[in-house]
Structure 1
Amino acid sequence: MSSDPWGRVDEQGNVFVKTADGERSVGSWQAGSPDEALAYFRRKYEGLVVEVELLERRVRTTDLAPKDAATAIEHLRANIVDAHAVGDLDALVKRLDALGGVVESRREERKVARAKAQEEAHGAKERIVTEAEQLAQSTDWRQAGERLRALVDSWKAVPRLDRKTDDELWHRFSQARSVFAKRRKSHFAELDQQREGVRRTKERLVAEAEALSTSTDWNDTSARYRDLMRDWKAAGRAQRDVEESLWQRFRAAQDVFFAARGEVYAERDSEQRDNQNLKEQLLVEAEALLPVEDVKTARAGLRSVNERWEEIGHVPRDARPKMEARLHAVERAIRDAEEELWRRTNPEARARAQATVDQLQASIDKLKAQGDKARAAGNDRKAREADEAVAAREEWLAEARKALEEFSG
């Protein structure tokens, strides 16, 4: 017969656990020694310990609902009481009792929180209604209208109150929105009358813009077009369909003038185009440095390109972003090569990689010795476990050796 503080195995192989209520049978064991039987049922107990610890963690560190927590506690308690395991089952029950106190405390906290949430919801809706009543008298039609629509979404996001209070607040809210809508409608009716005057003003601006479209006085006409644009913006907006038509004519007149000016200016850009050709040649030279084979040589070559690049001068504006992007791409590639070289030659990183390989090899050697010893003793289970551990570590070792080989690449 074999025993430990929480259980025993009798001569017939029956296994018992000791509790505050006395001993009870948890099973029988005929496949091995009593010590192996107790070890098997202790592992069952250890599994229950893990379940208790996991439930404690869930209850204490997550937002698990009290009802769900209480159900989980009772379910686990039943499993422990009837468990076919050897260990201090009474201690696990006491831990569940303590956890039940935590759940009850959280239930009370939630009750208080719900009451507080209702109070906060009432305050939030009062603030929404008060702001809506203030906005009802606003003349900032766009911003106030958008804010009132946002307040509707805010209202929907706030939990409902009791029906009477909620209905009273909603009535005030709706009344404020109705007042604003009526005032805005009246305002835009007056605005339509003003837009007719805007239409006549913009027609005069369009006529002048069209008359200037054939001018060759580039500087003064450009300045006048800026003035016309300023007057256009200051005039306000006409009716939507008229506004779009006038705007298209206004822009078309400007486009004619500025296209003609652009053709003249293009003739003055020959120097920048020459600069572009020279820089294109430098880009070809810079891109020939890739892929990087020698970091120092590549860096020196790029430095030479950069010095000549700065001496050349400006290129046409539309070509500048693409050309600079190509040069920056070469710079990034060389910088990446420098960083890769540093990483591969870093003695601390290589030492860490070698240490990992050595540690895994030592672990494999030790496990192989343990497996051989277990096989010699006829313990197939321990031998098999050792072989499985060796196989896993050999996979890790292969990966670690690959990492180490990178430092000699």
Structure 2
Amino acid sequence: MSSDPWGRVDETGTVYVRTADGEQVVGSWAAGSPEEALAYFERKYEGLVVEIGLLEKRVQTTDLSAKDAQAAIAHLREQVDAHHAVGDLDALRQRLDKLVQTVEARREERKAQRAKQSDEARKAKEDLVAEAEQLAQSDQWRAAGERLRSLVDTWKGLPRLDRKSDDELWHRFSHARSAFSKRRKAHFAQLDAQREEARRIKERLVAEAEALSGSTDWGPTAAQYRDLMAQWKAAGRAQREHEDDLWNRFRGAQDVFFAARSSVFAERDAEQSENLKLKEELAEEAEKLLPIGDLKAARAAFRSINERWEAIGHVPRDARPKVEGRMHAVERAIQEAEEAEWRRTNPEARARAEGLTGQLQAAVDKLKTQIEQARAQGNSSKADKLERELEGRQALLDQALKGLQEFGG
């Protein structure tokens, strides 16, 4: 018979282990000495000690789920309760009991952490929805659109809530985006409609101006032209691809009339020379507005200068292109600033800019051909006039190309 503090082997070869509930049969041993029997079952005990130690470490240092941990504990407890080892089995049971408590505490901790994460995700999504609903009312089309796209990316990076809450918040978020897109689309549709209406009005004004260009009823016709000009300004801008061509025709018709009137009123040359001096001063005042900083202030200042300009009257014919060219340069700069501001809020502008560039290039090529034909025919006057028109078209083409560059095209 052999024994140790935790077990013994009786004369029949039966192995016992000592527990708090008394001795329990471990098994029978007939293959060797009692010492070998105890050593064998002590090694089985050490194996259980190692397994429990590994499980304790996994629970403390890994993300082992509570379900898997409990299954592992149950498996080990079953082995301990089977009494097939010699050692302090009660101590192993206590360690397993403590491990159960640890797993439960970890589960509650993770549950609280998940609840906290869920609350944080809910708060974040509620904040996104609130901001999206606010942006839905914005008229800053480009900035608000970009911000809404950024909010979508942020939303995608947040964890999902319970299905009902997540669906409700997403519905509000999606509705806000849709409302903004609908308002933006309506805004640009209205702009397009306004420009189309301006084009129709200006085409009518061009037809009236061209019909008056041959009149010799100087006073009344000049008054009619002033009225047409007022209507022109009140009509607003047409689409960019139409505006310059309509203006050239409108201004060209006036040029024909006022050139004829000037030839009749040659005696007013002195007065026109004084007008030239005044307009040169106004042109200089207008040029001081460049480069454009505050667009609103520059537009208002130029309007004031232009009103005084219009009130002055005509200048000598040969000096007119130069002095008017100075004013037109400032006006174009303001228009370019307006167009740049418009393009920043108009996602359809690129396609229009490309179309305009093509039209202007075709117009420039056509004018060059006409100039060559006029030179070949010896018609220098017509060629010179076409050269001036070419300069204007080329400048517009350069602006259009520059505009395409702003789009990265």
TM-score after normalising by structure 2: 0.46
TM-score after normalising by structure 1: 0.46
Larger radius of gyration: 2
